[in-house]
Amino acid sequence: MEITVDIRPGKLRGRMEDGVAVFLGVPYAAPPFGERRFRAPEPPEPWEGVRDALAYGPTATSRGYRPPLDEILPEAVIPGEDCLNLNIWTPGLDGRRPVMVWVHGGSNRNGSNAVPLYAGGAFARDGVVMVSINYRLGVEGWAAFPDAPDNRGLLDQIAALTWVRENIEAFGGDPGNVTVFGESAGAIDIADLLAVPAARRLIRRAIIQSGGPAAAPRKKVAVTTRRIARRLGVPATAAAFAAADRERLLDAQAAVMSRSGLAGGPELGPVIDGDLVTGPPEDLVDPEIAILIGHTTEEYRLWFVPTGGVERTGPLMARLATLKMGVKGRVHRGYRALFPDARPGEVVGLMLTDRLVRLGNHRLAERRPIGNTWLYEFAWRSPQRDLGAAHAMEIPFVFDALGSSDAHMLTGTEAPQELADAMHAAWVRFASTGDPGWPAWNPSTRPTMVFDTPSTVIENHRADVHALWR
């Protein structure tokens, strides 16, 4: 059954699926190509008549994940230039329901809102209007040019949130009750948006999954941009990049970024530009916005296990990796003592997980008002490919989508539905009420909800690990 809604740009035709109204591929900004290439997003052109919103729209330019990650994190590739679009799932067009806006991950170079795992039907089933967005990736969204605005990916996300503020009421959503949630690069982008005045007014709550506030000095991303320009044989300007063949541009980006790794290297992502992001975002996060933040226990396993990194890392290589990360020898020795059965590569991975995610979560919580921040850890271990509690493993549980083929790539076919019930309900409750269902973080007991079978709240969770880094 089809359903029509009237919004500012024009009328949209969606459809009903299992009692949920679905609108797909809705433009929130004009296509960022032609004269708009490498520019700030502009409003979409209004349309006459009724526009179909029955299929996912074009995805942002991307080369996709390299093997073997492409088998674990499948991509959706839909050609077309109208890639600044969003999807909406809603229980109905009446009322003012809480709104959740999903910002996908993918190192700001991969991913899209058309990945089937990100469908929002379960959220709409439970009374939430869910929106998923695209934004420009790679050099299109993040390269630093002298003749183009920086942080175009963040500007896209702000444009999408502005569209939600202006139009979501027509879909039964409350424009004053918007929770942004995202994972990995999406989580980093969200945390940075909480430091941007133009975005903060559009957000009431935020869920930050396996990420945190981080923006590079502009000169670091400018160096990456120049390296890509040298590969192309053109000046490092937006005008020169716009004139380059798009496939050659992707080839050059892939060649330069192949040297990037979890411990450092070339970077494409948010920058401190002095305009949108005016300083270190961890210093500027709005204390009034409620935050749910967490990570998986073994983030590193997504990158270290499928590629054979754990098996290849012996004691000497582990020590060299520790030095490259700038980790003190006593910290490394402490991890080896705390995890005596872990292989050298696993010890390095655990340190990397904590250094990049866990410690940052706690530092952010410590700087915020008491009662406004909740911490979680996802600890359930998947048997699939020996991934364990790897990066991205929580996503199928959050979306209550364990039955999807995309989820099976991560979780296998026997993942516990009761854990999905618990996580999904916590996300819905937080978006609806501002309380996910366990005590907020405080400096005396530091409670963390550990999602597993069973799930439980643990005070001063992993205090022995944190003590190593002090």
- Closest by CA position to 190, among listed 163, 160, 233: 160
DSSP per residue over 174-215, as a string? Answer: EEEEEEEEEETHHHHHHHHHTT-HHHHTT-SEEEEES-----
Given the residues 299, 346, 377, 394, the one annotated as active site: 299
Q: Judging by beta carbons within 10 Å of its beta carbon (0-12, 13-18, 19+), is residue 187 exposed, middle or buried? A: buried
Classified as helix, coil or strand, 283 is: helix
Q: Which residues are CB-neighbours of 167 under 8 A, at least 6 positions away?
A: 7, 8
pLDDT at position 384 is 97
Do residues 49 and 10 lie in contact, with contact meaning Cβ atoms separated by under 8 Å? yes
pTM exceeds 0.95 for this model: yes
Strands 2-7 and 10-17: antiparallel
- Please report which confidence band the pLDDT of residue 260 belongs to, taking 50, 70 and 90 as the band edges: low
**Residue 63: other Cβ atoms inside 10 A:** 18
pLDDT tens digits, residue range 310-354? 999 999 999 998 988 889 999 999 999 999 999 999 999 999 999
d(CA 88, CA 24): 6
Q: Judging by beta carbons within 10 Å of its beta carbon (0-12, 13-18, 19+), is residue 54 exposed, middle or buried? A: middle
Residue 210 designated active-site: no
Averaged confidence pLDDT in the chain:
95
pLDDT at position 394 is 98
Classified as helix, coil or strand, 374 is: strand
Residue 424 designated active-site: no
Sequence letter at residue 353: T
Look at residue 435 and tell me whether its pLDDT is greater than 90: yes
Strands 290-296 and 373-378: parallel
Peptide bond preceding 454 in cis form (omega within 30 of 0): yes
d(CA 64, CA 51): 30
Q: According to CATH, what is the number of the domain 2-290?
A: 3.40.50.1820
Look at residue 40 and tell me whether its pLDDT is greater than 80: yes
pLDDT at position 47 is 96
Residue 299 designated active-site: yes
Given the residues 104, 295, 391, 461, the one annotated as active site: 391
**Residue 27: other Cβ atoms inside 10 A:** 22
Sequence letter at residue 176: G
pLDDT tens digits, residue range 264-276? 567 899 999 999 9
Question: Can 2-290 and 297-468 be said to share one CATH topology?
Answer: yes
pLDDT tens digits, residue range 120-176? 999 999 999 999 999 999 999 999 999 999 999 999 999 999 999 999 999 999 999
Look at residue 425 and tell me whether its pLDDT is greater than 70: yes
- Please report which confidence band the pLDDT of residue 261 belongs to, taking 50, 70 and 90 as the band edges: low
For the chain, domain boundaries:
2-290, 297-468
Q: According to CATH, what is the number of the domain 297-468?
A: 3.40.50.1820
Given the residues 112, 132, 184, 210, the one annotated as active site: 184
Look at residue 419 and tell me whether its pLDDT is greater than 70: yes
For residues 99-119, give the mean pLDDT: 97
d(CA 66, CA 106): 12
What dihedral do alpha carbons 314, 320, 324, 327 form, nearest 10°? 90
